[in-house]
Structures are given as C-alpha cells and as structure tokens.
Amino acid sequence: MTLTFTHPPTATPEDSAAHERTDPGCSPMIQVEQLDKVFEGGFQALKNVSLEIQRGEIFALLGPNGAGKTTLISVICGLARASSGRVKVDGHDTVADYRQARAMIGLVPQELTNEAFTTVWDTVSFSRGLFGKPKNPAHIENVLRALTLWEKRNNRLLTLSGGMKRRVLIAKALAHEPKVLFLDEPTAGVDVELRREMWEVVRQLRDQGVTIILTTHYIEEAEEMADRIGVILRGELVLVKEKAALMRQLGRKELTLHLDHALEQVPAALAGHDLALTEEGHALVYTYDVTRQEQGTGIAGLLADLEATGIRVKDLHTRQSSLEEIFVNLVREKT
Amino acid sequence: MNLQSVKTIYLAEMARSLRTVLQSIVSPVVSTSLYFVVFGAAIGSRISEVDGVSYGAFIVPGLIMLMLLTQSVSTASFGIFFPRFSGSIYEILSAPISYLEIVLGFVGAAATKSMILGLIVLGTARLFVPFTIQYPLVMLLFLVLTALTFSLLGFIIGIWADGFEKLQLVPLLVVTPLTFLGGTFYSIDMLPPFWQTVTLLNPVVYLVSGFRWSFYGTGDVSIWASVFMIMAFLGVSLAVVNWIFKTGYRLKP
C-alpha cells in the first residue's frame, strides 16, 4: 500500500524532495537558533543548540537516554518552552507564528499515549480536526490502509497490541498532512517486521517531500534511514553530518586477510602496519582509517610486504565500522 | 479563531459523555428523583410551605443547582485531566490552537452537558411537583453562567490535580458541602440568626438564591447580589485559567 497525501506537501514532481535537498537556494524547513532549556530546579536540558534541517530530508537525532532529544523535539513542537533562543518552521517562528508553524508539524511521541476507549477511526479523525483541517474520510482511509490499520478502524484502542498502537500514533500524526514529521523513538518495542514496514512508510513520506526528524536508540534505524545524523550529548549538539560522510570520516575499515598457513606472530617485517593476528593465526586483520585516503590506505604497501615475506593470502575481505560503533566511540570520547 | 479545532474538541468531549451515558445522564437523573422521593415526598410532606411555595417545589431550583455545580465541575475536570493522565494532551498542546480555543472546547462541552442535565432534572422534577418559572430568561441566564463558571472551575481542578484523589477532593470536600449548606433544601430564614450570617459567607447561597428567584420571584438574598456573585466567580475563574496558560502551569515545562 502506498501512502499518498490528498494534498501532497510538495505539489509538483519538480518540487520533489530530492530536488529540494540538493537545491542550495531552498531555505531550511527547520531552523533552531541558540536554543537553551533550563527546567525548574536548574537542570539544563539544552545548551545553545543551533541546527538547520533541510526540506525533504530524513534527519536522525541520536543520543543516550536523557541527552535532550525529546526536550529538543518538545520545544520545536510547542510542548515545552525555550529558556532562550528561537525556532522557525518553514520560516514561521514557533512562538510568534505558532499557528502556521504547528500546522506543518506532525508529532509521534515516544510514549504510547492513547485515549483507550475511542476507536481507531475516531481518534485519527479527531487529530485531523484538531489541526483545523476539514473532514476528509478518503485521506484517513488512505493513512489507515498504508499503516495496515484499516481492518482495525472500528476497534477501540485498548484492544490493540503495542505495535498497532504505535501505528495509530503515526496515523494520528499524518492525519492533517504535515510537512514535517517528528518521530520520537518510532519503533521502540516494535517487532522487526513492523519496523521494516514503518521504515517503508517513512521513505514514502520522504519521497513525497515530507521532512522527517527521528530520534532512535536503534542505530541500525538511523543507518538505514537517515540522510543526516545529529548527535546530542548532555544537551549539546556535538555533531551534525551527512550520514555517508560521517561513516566515511569516522568509520574505520578492516581488511581481513585469510592466510594459507597459520602464523604464530606477526612477522617483524610487517611491524610497520597496524596488524592483528586472529583466528588462531589463520587471519591477519589490518585496520585503517578512510580519512587518510589521500595519503593512501597502506593496503598496497602491506600486500607488497606480504609478498616479500612469502606469506600467501588465500582470501580477503573488508568491513566498515557500523554507525553504532561510530556512535559508541563518539559518546565514549566526549564523556 | 480556529473554529474547526474548537468544534473537534467540543464534539469529542460530548461523544465521551454519550459513551458513558449511564454514568453521565441516567445516574444524575436517578439520584435527583431519589432526592424528590426523600426530601419532597417523605420529609416535605411534613413541611407546609417555604417562602410561599410548597416544599417540593421549593427544592427544585436548589436540586438543579446542585446537579449543575457537581456535574460542571466533574465533567470539566475529568475532561482535561484524562488527556494529562494518559499523555494524549501532547496532541492538544502541539496543535495550532490558542489557549482560548482549548478552553472553549473543553469548558463549552462540560457546560453544555451540565445544562442538558439541569434541564432533564427540571423535566424530571415536573413529574413530581407542579411549579412555574416566573422569569424563564433569568433562569436560563443563571443556568448558562453557573454551568460556564463551574466548568471553568472544573477545568482548573483538572489541571491542578496530579492524581485521581485530588481530582475528587474539591468536588467532594468543597463543592458538595457548600451546595448542601447553600440553601438547596432550606431557606436560610429557617436558620438561627448566627448561622444565617455564617451562611452568607457561602458563595453558593447567592447562586441558589438567584436561581430560585427566577422561579418564584423570592430568594434569600437580592437578585442583584446573586448576579454580582456569579459574575465575580466567572471573573475569578477566567483570571485563573488565563494565569495557567500564561505560566504553562502543569501543562508546559
């Protein structure tokens, strides 16, 4: 089932998400400027956060528990007030022009918060009306079908499973055809199959030009979905990068060489290379940094030295660090 | 004004009342009927007349006011408390609607429900005792103003309460006692002079008295005092709601 908005946020193919993402003339969809949030009691949840999110991109906000991800989303969506700084959504200030700014946003909260006694259809229709949109049963049907909720439309929410409730929250957020969708831990507690279905829905939305901001604990999710990654630690945005560039720059690569004959130790002639002996001497693992590519990865030299020492290689493969490893290293480094 | 949003909240709240029709409508009607049986027929038969009207007819305005006050407070407080409790308030707070529109939706629905109940009780009472309404427009005005004011009070309680106990605290320990002691079942002339003076400190006396005046043209206090008091209540409630939204009290950190 393909999810389509009755009134697509991007009206023409020329305005497609890909076009917008690559058009340097486009203003950002979300601008966060020097945002601070200090809660009563003095806890500073956000420290001078500045961030721009481009139209039509999927932006993943990563960070450990309590880092400030949800607080940042709450301030942008109007659920919490900023102590200083400001936020604009499509050029509209979220305080001065809150109506225009909020009308563009759909929010899927982290917690499964539902009115237990209402039906799926009623609660999703309620969300549309709440955002000031006239009734549009065709759109609601479209959203429910896309999220495989159509068969459950007359069910009361208390009868649904956790995964279904999560889908209902997404359907509610999509009911008013938002241009920006915030997904706060969208797949927490959701099984693998449903998670992949949700990723597909998110991609479809992105393809229609919806800007998506997601927070997640599943790094795999960010790796799979995001165009850009932001990392927030103790209220500070410590990194914002294109995912591909991040993985290229921070990712370490490993070259594993499977040997014909086992070695007892790394030969002295190879001491100049960053090598480790594994698999009981049957494999050599060479670790290198892709950021040093301009100086050469050293692979050619290593292979030449292996040839010179008479070590025969029967197979080899390379592996790049996952985003999870990058994230864990980054957190460790900064804390 | 985002009327579509106001209408959505209003209709959702009204639908909630209809979902719980037994608790919302049937139960108050049954309890009011019981009041008539006990106070009107059983006890009332031993009391001749109060302020020139039969005791059964005398208690009608007071009973409607009792229903109006308790239902306005409980409906409005639960209406806003439940989304806070379940967490679904996030949707209302992130919607492109003003505070005034939120209040109109919730308080409007609670006031409507309690007014409907008030009128149902009025109809039920007519089955038990004959009475006339001398000033129907004044009666309706009091009905609307009281329902609005106490729905606002309920809204405030629903935001203030951080648990079900607190949600029940004010209605049970403040509103109900003040209503019972506010001349619902008696004229304050029937009290000793000292207690008459004390009773005048009870704001509900003015509401019941004004409402009764619209029925029979007589009341414990002047109709203008009653009008002043209900307007003062309304003003205070509006000021508190305004403060809640300005400060984000218990809604927005």
Q: What is the mean pLDDT of chain B?
A: 87
Report the 10 Å Cβ neighbour count for B22: 9
Mean pLDDT of A101-122: 87
Answer whether A289's CB lies under 8 Å from A321's CB: no
Q: Which of A21, A12, A50 has the alpha carbon at shortest distance from A211?
A: A21
Name the least confident of A32-36, A209-213, A322-326, B70-74: A322-326
pTM recorded for the entire structure: 0.80
Half-sphere exposure of residue A8: CA atoms within 13 angstroms, side-chain side: 17
Q: Would you call B7 and A129 a contact, using CB atoms and an 8 Å cutoff?
A: yes
Q: Which residue of B has its CA nearest to A43?
A: B253
Test mutation, B4, B14, B78, B91, chain A, max A CBs within 10 A? B91
Answer whether A173's CB lies under 8 Å from A184's CB: no
Q: Name the pLDDT band for A198 (thresholds 50, 70, 90).
A: confident
The whole-angstrom separation of Cα A200 and Cα B174 is 55
Q: What is the pLDDT of residue A2?
A: 60
Is the pLDDT at B234 greater than 80? The verdict is: yes
Is the pLDDT at A227 greater than 70? The verdict is: yes
The whole-angstrom separation of Cα A227 and Cα A131 is 29
Hey, which residues does A183 pair with through a beta bridge? A108, A214
Half-sphere exposure of residue B137: CA atoms within 13 angstroms, side-chain side: 0
In chain A, which residues have their Cβ closer than 8 Å to the Cβ of B9? Answer: 130
The whole-angstrom separation of Cα A67 and Cα A19 is 33
Q: Would you call A130 and B15 a contact, using CB atoms and an 8 Å cutoff?
A: no
Q: Name the pLDDT band for A294 (thresholds 50, 70, 90).
A: low
Residue type, A198: M
Which of A113, A129, A131 lies at the smallest CB-CB distance from B90?
A113
Q: What is the pLDDT of residue A10?
A: 40
In chain A, which residues have their Cβ closer than 8 Å to the Cβ of B16? Answer: 117
Which of B11, B88, B94 lies at the smallest CB-CB distance from A78?
B94
Mean pLDDT of B56-83: 89
Rounded to the nearest angstrom, the minimum Cα separation between B17 and chain A is 12
Q: Would you call B95 and A130 a contact, using CB atoms and an 8 Å cutoff?
A: yes
Q: Name the pLDDT band for B249 (thresholds 50, 70, 90).
A: confident
Which of B4, B12, B93 lies at the smallest CB-CB distance from A79?
B93
Residue type, A7: H
In chain B, which residues have their Cβ closer than 8 Å to the Cβ of A177? Answer: none
- Residue in the structure block whose two tokens are 């039906």: A119
Q: What is the pLDDT of residue A250?
A: 66
Q: What is the pLDDT of residue A238?
A: 87
Mean pLDDT of A15-43: 72
The whole-angstrom separation of Cα A36 and Cα A8 is 34
Q: What is the pLDDT of residue A20?
A: 44
Which of A103, A114, A115 lies at the smallest CB-CB distance from B96?
A103
Q: What is the pLDDT of residue B105?
A: 94
Q: Which of A334, A320, A329 has the alpha carbon at shortest distance from A244?
A: A320
Is the pLDDT at A9 greater than 60? The verdict is: no
The whole-angstrom separation of Cα B178 and Cα A183 is 48
Q: What is the pLDDT of residue A11?
A: 36
Q: Would you call A115 and B15 a contact, using CB atoms and an 8 Å cutoff?
A: no
Q: What is the mean pLDDT of chain A?
A: 83
Which of A78, A127, A134 lies at the smallest CB-CB distance from B4?
A134
Domains of chain A with bracketed CATH: 14-247 (3.40.50.300), 251-334 (3.30.70)
Q: Would you call A105 and B8 a contact, using CB atoms and an 8 Å cutoff?
A: no
Name the least confident of A1-10, A44-53, B201-210: A1-10
Mean pLDDT of A231-248: 85
Q: Name the pLDDT band for A262 (thresholds 50, 70, 90).
A: confident
Vertex A317: Cα angle to A311 and A320 (nearest 5) = 130
- Residue in the structure block whose two tokens are 């279904």: A164
In chain A, which residues have their Cβ closer than 8 Å to the Cβ of B78? Answer: none
- Residue in the structure block whose two tokens are 């494999």: A283
Q: Which residue of B has its CA nearest to A109?
A: B90
Q: Would you call B86 and A116 a contact, using CB atoms and an 8 Å cutoff?
A: yes
Q: Convert the pLDDT of each residue in B34-50 to its tens digit.
A: 888 887 777 767 777 77
Which of A114, A115, A130 lies at the smallest CB-CB distance from B8?
A130
Test mutation, A126, A130, A131, A172, chain B, max B CBs within 10 A? A130
Name the least confident of A2-16, A82-96, A225-239, B52-66: A2-16
Q: Convert the pLDDT of each residue in A123-133 to its tens digit.
A: 999 999 999 99
Which of B9, B88, B94 lies at the smallest CB-CB distance from A77?
B94
Tokens of A145: 């079908």
Question: Which positions in chain B have a beta carbon within 8 angstroms of at least one beta carbon in chain A?
Answer: 2, 4-5, 7-9, 11-12, 15-16, 19, 82-83, 86-88, 90-98, 248, 252-253
The whole-angstrom separation of Cα A47 and Cα A85 is 10
Tokens of A139: 């759109």
The whole-angstrom separation of Cα A31 and Cα B129 is 68
- Residue in the structure block whose two tokens are 């290379």: A273
Q: Name the pLDDT band for A21 (thresholds 50, 70, 90).
A: very low
HEC string for B88-141? CHHHHHCCCCCHHHHHHHHHHHHHHHHHHHHHHHHHHHHHHCCCCCCCHHHHHH
The whole-angstrom separation of Cα A169 and Cα A191 is 16
Mean pLDDT of A43-65: 91
Q: What is the pLDDT of residue A122?
A: 93
Alpha helices in A152-285 (DSSP H): 162-174, 192-207, 219-225, 243-250
Q: What is the pLDDT of residue A297?
A: 66
Q: What is the pLDDT of residue A7?
A: 46
The whole-angstrom separation of Cα A96 and Cα A111 is 28
Angstrom CA distances, A216 to A65, A220, B85, B147, B241, stand at 10, 9, 25, 46, 37
- State the count of interchain CB pairs (< 8 A) between A and B: 76
Q: Name the pLDDT band for A8 (thresholds 50, 70, 90).
A: very low
Name the least confident of A56-60, B2-6, B55-59: B55-59
Q: Convert the pLDDT of each residue in A155-196 to its tens digit.
A: 998 888 888 888 899 999 999 999 999 998 887 777 788 888
Angstrom CA distances, B45 to A48, A165, B40, B54, B188, stand at 75, 58, 7, 9, 20
Q: What is the pLDDT of residue B114?
A: 92
HEC string for B27-60? HHHHHHHHHHHHHHHHHHHHCCEECCEEHHHHHH
Q: Convert the pLDDT of each residue in B139-192 to its tens digit.
A: 999 999 999 999 999 999 999 988 888 888 888 888 888 888 888 888 888 888
Q: Would you call B94 and A117 a contact, using CB atoms and an 8 Å cutoff?
A: no
What is the three-class DSSP state of A82?
A: coil
Burial class (CB in 10 A: 0-12, 13-18, 19+), A246: buried
Q: Would you call A115 and B7 a contact, using CB atoms and an 8 Å cutoff?
A: no
